[in-house]
Structure 1
């Protein structure tokens, strides 16, 4: 994910799904260590529900790709 896309994604998690910053930070630490799927990390550690996971995948699918130059 490009940095601009990542920023938009984090904003979506915080603003649209009302995920606390602490939950996002936990997932970011695991993601940096393991490089798995960020949405799956959120779900595996109980930071989001299955419904929220589906919303994330929908957002990722519908979100226009931003390419940094």
Structure 2
């Protein structure tokens, strides 16, 4: 994922998973520009459940990769 994909990722997380902007911004900050780690960071911080993590990876696979 590149920096150009971030707006689409944020949109997905906010609209499809109902994450707050603060939660998304925290995860982006913690990923420290290694945006491939973003799904795991979301899960590690308890921002998404395992089924939601699967949805994130499915979305990444269809949109990003």
**Normalised-by-shorter TM-score class:** 0.7 to 0.9
* Deviation by residue 1:31-58 (Cα, 9 ceiling, x = unmatched): 117x360000000111111111000000
Q: Which structure's residues are more often helix, by fraction?
A: 2
Map 1:1-69 → 2, pairs under 5 A: 1-32=1-32, 35=34, 37-63=37-63
TM-score for both structures, normalised by structure 1: 0.79
TM-score for both structures, normalised by structure 2: 0.83
In terms of Rg, which structure is larger?
1
Higher relative contact order, structure no. (Cα contacts within 8 Å, ≥ 6 residues apart): 1
Q: Aligned-pair distance for 1:64?
A: 5.5
Q: Which of structure 1's runs of 4+ aligned residues deviate more than 3 A?
A: none
- Tell me, which stretches of 5 or more residues in structure 1 are unaligned? none
- Tell me, which stretches of 5 or more residues in structure 2 are unaligned? none
Matched residue count:
64
